[in-house]
Structure 1
Amino acid sequence: MNDTPGWASPGSAPSDGQDATVPGPAAPADDTASKWSASQPPAGQWSPPSPPGAGPGAPRRPAPGWGNAGPGGAPGGGWGKPPAAKPGVIPLRPLSVGEILDGAVSTMRTHWRTVLSVSLVVAVISQIGEILVQRYLVPEPTTIDQDASASEVLRQTAESTQSNLLAEAPSLVITLIGTIFVTAVLTMVVSRSVLGRPVTLADAWNEARPRLLQLLGLTLLLPFASVVVLTIGILPGLLVGSAGGAVLAFLGGMAALLVIIWLMVRFTLASPALMLERQGVLTALRRSAKLVSGSWWRVFGIQVLTFVLVMFVTLVIALPFSVLAMTADGSFLDSLLSGDTPDFSWPFLIITGIGSVIALTVTYPISAGVSVLLYVDQRIRREALDLELARAAGVSGDGTQQPGHGSPRG
């Protein structure tokens, strides 16, 4: 049964049930043994011709490509393994971590008009929503009674969290819609950049639009599953309602957090699988679990490294704007120094919002690019997708153009 759907643009990969054996070389047409005379002359000593002007005693240089090993033990005359084809931003072979990150940045640099226009528009809209929410909807923080019992502290904390979530709901909805739009469009941009093909915003949108509802369902399903797991973890402690219950809730919450991390990594490739293989939500989840299986720690490490990189870039970009905002709004700094709740003024919100827009515009493509290229890498490693991509790009395994194809860049 074929349960390995193909990439929508390049074509399908070999199925799991397909016979992957490669037939060996054909036998010679005439297998009759050659007849040699019993009497043979002595073996001759062949030597390469000496360069012009060299005398009989001059040292002989070995012929190129025969016996003179190059770097890494490969013969120096071109007998090493040819480099992998690279029609786009990545070579068509299993990728290293650096190549995945470089491919994400190269996509942003190559298709900067399309990539940055999408990221900028979404970042501006989401930040406007965030500013309005912080200015008008965020409630005053709930003060926890220091003399309250453990159960009362848990109740007050739950009420404060519920109030903040309700206030942040409009901003979360705007951010969710923006993230879905960016993910869908940038996934198509990265898939084209792998093949070295040009892509416009209209092209990417037309390809991504039919999958938006499924992507919305997937994006909502994963946080919902996380909330369910977290609730199951802390519910026994909340029901106990004593000091022991608080400890039990903490331990259950930590255990639930580990399960959530395991699930998020296991399903981290579901989004590109859904968009590029044109499958349903549940099928995309199964595909992600299959691709991550056996490589969980590698995928986890790459995702953590990407998160750290994104946070570092965000900090470098946003920090100067935060300092400028606090300088422009003296009341905010006074509130922090006095320990009072800071009042978000318009100058502070606008300046920090500009910094956030710039940071999101840069980091959105990095996150989306790493996710798609990690998906491509896992399929190359497990399903030989590089062969399909090379055929789709019109190049052979050594990077030369196949007959009958135009330029791989369209």
Structure 2
Amino acid sequence: MIPLRPLDVGDVLGGTFAAFGRHWKPLVGVAAVVHAAALLLVGGAAALAFWGNVDTFDALERADRNGTAVASHVTSLAVSFGLVAVLGAVCLLFATATTQAASAVALQEAVLGRPTTFRAVWRRAVRRVPAVAGALLLPALAAAVLTVLLMIGYVGLMMAVVEDVGGDAANWLAAVGLLGGLLLVPVVVWLWVRFAFAPAVAVFESAGAMQALRRSARLVRGSWWRIFGISLLVYAMAWMASWLIQIPFSLLGMFSLVPSMAVAPDTGEEMSLVQMVLAVGGYVLIVLVGSFVSQIVVIFFPQLATGLLYVDQRIRREHLAPALAEAAYGPPPPPRH
């Protein structure tokens, strides 16, 4: 799939397309399963939180009409939906870890020229999810701190400038949040590149989370700017492709609403419930399909490209090419049970 020599940008891009073209079925299957499971779990938790706080919502509505505040009810809602948010973050972490592990598994087989199946990718990926999730935790925490700071700064800015409330406290919130966030951006980007190879190391080398982080830092050292530039290019291409993919689905979804507009407003006719459900349901379904297809590009192309950069660094520094050739042309390893 790739030349057994140091890779240039064209080799990385071509190898990414080739790897996805060979193994897109198991990759899409893994993504569909883990994200559907995460969506059902978080959606169920949110429904339970809403159902369990129906009386609280009613009490808050009555308090709002009477002009009285009920702090205990606000606290109850904050705790309930805060737990849902935490569950969502955990599910997102493990869904991301699973797709990262699946990408590395598929890439390893693609580099060696071996076919693979959904079952094989799933079994190997699931075994490496804890290590990959641990390796993703540090960059994720840094990104979360950055997001919180920027949100605090935004809220403070809106309070001070738009609403003109809060006084000096709002100004301090805006200053600390925005300045702290801007200062933290380079640190987050540096960590993102420094530990970019950790998921691939966790799968290719069966390493633990901390070992994968240290190994990634060693491989990136001295090539930070090259890896950053290629990664940024791949992410930009993936987001552009995702946007272009969504356009025809959005147009098709708009056309699906045309039958519901056939009822002339001056005739006094009303759209039936069946027509409304079919029109809106068709539009939502088409848009969701387009969003899923576009997200597949955003999820897997950068991960496969990062995995190829990991292979490239090992070819450059550790002379991995002879070992790859031997593994590719030798007998495949026995399956793990």
Confirm or deny that 1:93 pairs with 2:5: yes
Q: Which amino acid in 2 is paired with 1:297?
A: W
Q: Which amino acid in 2 is paired with 1:374?
A: L
> Partners of 2:35 and 2:145 in 1: how far apart?
30
CA distance 1:130–1:231, change in 2 (3 Å):
closer
In the alignment, is the contact (CA less than 8 A) between 1:123 and 1:361 conserved in 2? no
Cross-structure match for 1:42: none
| Equivalent of 2:124 in 207, 211, 232 | 207
Structure 2 runs not aligned, ≥5 long: 51-77, 157-167, 259-279, 333-337
> Partners of 1:268 and 1:128 in 2: how far apart?
29
| Equivalent of 2:325 in 390, 395, 398 | 390
SS in 1 for 2:5: coil
> Partners of 2:245 and 2:315 in 1: how far apart?
35
CA distance 1:326–1:166, change in 2 (3 Å):
farther
| Equivalent of 2:210 in 271, 277, 282 | 282
Q: Percent identity?
A: 34
CA distance 1:358–1:162, change in 2 (3 Å):
farther
Show CA shifts across 1:343-402 (max 9, x none).
Answer: xx75554332111112233443322211211110111111111122122223xxxxxxxx
Cross-structure match for 1:360: 295
After TM superposition, the score normalised by the length of structure 2 is: 0.67
In the alignment, is the contact (CA less than 8 A) between 2:42 and 2:84 conserved in 1? no
Q: Which amino acid in 2 is paired with 1:318?
A: Q
TM-aligned CA deviation for residue 234 of structure 1: 9.7
> Partners of 2:255 and 2:143 in 1: how far apart?
39
Cross-structure match for 2:133: 216
CA distance 1:233–1:202, change in 2 (3 Å):
closer
In the alignment, is the contact (CA less than 8 A) between 2:49 and 2:80 conserved in 1? no
SS in 1 for 2:2: coil
CA distance 1:380–1:250, change in 2 (3 Å):
same
Cross-structure match for 1:105: 17
Cross-structure match for 1:319: 247
Q: Which amino acid in 2 is paired with 1:350?
A: L
SS in 2 for 1:352: helix
1:156-195 correspondence runs (5 A): 171-195=88-112
> Partners of 1:279 and 1:245 in 2: how far apart?
42
SS in 2 for 1:301: helix
> Partners of 1:133 and 1:318 in 2: how far apart?
29
TM-aligned CA deviation for residue 317 of structure 1: 1.1
Structure 1 runs not aligned, ≥5 long: 1-88, 139-160, 331-344, 395-404
> Partners of 1:292 and 1:319 in 2: how far apart?
37
Q: Which amino acid in 2 is paired with 1:198?
A: P
Q: Which amino acid in 1 is paired with 2:133?
A: L
SS in 2 for 1:111: helix
CA distance 1:209–1:244, change in 2 (3 Å):
closer
Count of aligned residue pairs for this structure pair? 273
In the alignment, is the contact (CA less than 8 A) between 1:195 and 1:393 conserved in 2? yes
> Partners of 1:356 and 1:233 in 2: how far apart?
27
Confirm or deny that 1:117 pairs with 2:52: no
CA distance 1:275–1:390, change in 2 (3 Å):
same
| Equivalent of 1:307 in 235, 242, 251 | 235
TM-aligned CA deviation for residue 282 of structure 1: 1.1
> Partners of 1:243 and 1:314 in 2: how far apart?
38
TM-aligned CA deviation for residue 249 of structure 1: 3.4
Confirm or deny that 1:380 pairs with 2:322: no
Cross-structure match for 1:225: 142
| Equivalent of 1:258 in 178, 186, 201 | 186
CA distance 1:356–1:251, change in 2 (3 Å):
same
In the alignment, is the contact (CA less than 8 A) between 1:306 and 1:370 conserved in 2? yes
> Partners of 2:251 and 2:40 in 1: how far apart?
20
In the alignment, is the contact (CA less than 8 A) between 1:234 and 1:248 conserved in 2? no
Cross-structure match for 2:174: 246
TM-aligned CA deviation for residue 233 of structure 1: 9.5
> Partners of 1:309 and 1:97 in 2: how far apart?
13
Determine which structure has more spread, i.e. the larger CA radius of gyration.
1
CA distance 1:300–1:243, change in 2 (3 Å):
same
TM-aligned CA deviation for residue 118 of structure 1: 2.8
Q: Which amino acid in 2 is paired with 1:391?
A: E
Q: Which amino acid in 2 is paired with 1:313?
A: A
Q: Which amino acid in 2 is paired with 1:209?
A: V
RMSD: 3.8
In the alignment, is the contact (CA less than 8 A) between 2:139 and 2:188 conserved in 1? no
Show CA shifts across 1:300-328 (max 9, x none).
Answer: 11111111111111101112323444565
TM-aligned CA deviation for residue 277 of structure 1: 1.1
> Partners of 2:47 and 2:282 in 1: how far apart?
11
> Partners of 1:274 and 1:109 in 2: how far apart?
24
